[in-house]
Amino acid sequence: MHKIALIALLLAFSPLFSHLAQAEDAVTENLKRRLQESLQIETSPSPTIELRAYIGTIKDLIGNTLVINGKDGKQDIRIEDGTVILRSPGNTNIKQENINIGDYLIAIGYPGDGETLLGRRLIVSSSPIESPPKLTAMGTVKKMDKTSLTLSIDDNDQKILVNAKTTFKSPAGPIEFTDLELGDTLIYTATLSDSTQTATILMRVKTAPIE
């Protein structure tokens, strides 16, 4: 009787043992998975800090921080011990004291705290950094001859010279100057010299309506 009861007790506990073993396996698997996920998150490549450059006019010099006015507004540039300061043209090394308010600046460095750039190489110039005069516009062909087009742009007439270097195209591919007609809508890029516009690229975006 005693032995039978003992065997029955063991049989009753056997599912408990197997469930406990299964539960332990599941917990181990779960822990392994979570640990692996954490490791993957930690070992994923951190973004490398890239050099940044700001271009603008020096508005102020407070301590060792330059305040410049660039295309996006004010920007602080910090001058550090290792910052190289050059004056252009000639790229001669200068000291912080030789930087003037109103000078033009190209500041290269690494992003610091907040919006400050930690300057590594500063190029200052007393003359403005000017881009070659270029423009782009959209208009409708009003007149044309062998060397020029007159476009109606915002109700004003604008003469544009074309030359052998001018590229003619449409969204479908290249076209010829002779393919253009009065009433066509064009977008163009041009260089500007003494108020004379010379087209570099002309794209026909709409053909003249058929009358």
Nearer to other proteins, 150 or 185 (CB): 185
Binding-site member from 61, 94, 99, 138 for other proteins (CB under 8 A): 138
Under the binding rule (CB under 8 A), the answer on residue 198 touching other proteins is no
Q: Which of 55, 83, 53, 88 is nearest to 69 (CA)?
A: 55
Binding part of the chain for other proteins, among 53-61, 93-101, 141-149, 173-181 by CB under 8 A, reads 53-61
Nearer to other proteins, 63 or 84 (CB): 84
Under the binding rule (CB under 8 A), the answer on residue 33 touching other proteins is yes
Q: Is the peptide bond before 89 cis (omega within 30 degrees of 0)?
A: yes
Under the binding rule (CB under 8 A), the answer on residue 182 touching other proteins is no
Interacting residues with other proteins between 89 and 128 (CB under 8 A): 106, 108, 120-121, 123
**Nearest-approach distance from CB 123 to other proteins, in angstroms:** 8
Q: Which two tokens stand for residue 131?
A: 């881009």
Under the binding rule (CB under 8 A), the answer on residue 203 touching other proteins is yes
Residues in the chain: 211
Under the binding rule (CB under 8 A), the answer on residue 23 touching other proteins is yes
* Rounded Cα–Cα distance for residues 188 and 198 (Å): 10
Nearer to other proteins, 70 or 74 (CB): 70
Question: What residues line the site for other proteins (CB under 8 A)?
Answer: 1-2, 5-6, 8-9, 12-13, 15-16, 19-20, 22-23, 33-34, 37-38, 40-41, 50-55, 70-71, 106, 108, 120-121, 123, 129, 131-132, 134-136, 138, 169, 171, 185, 187-189, 200-201, 203, 205-206
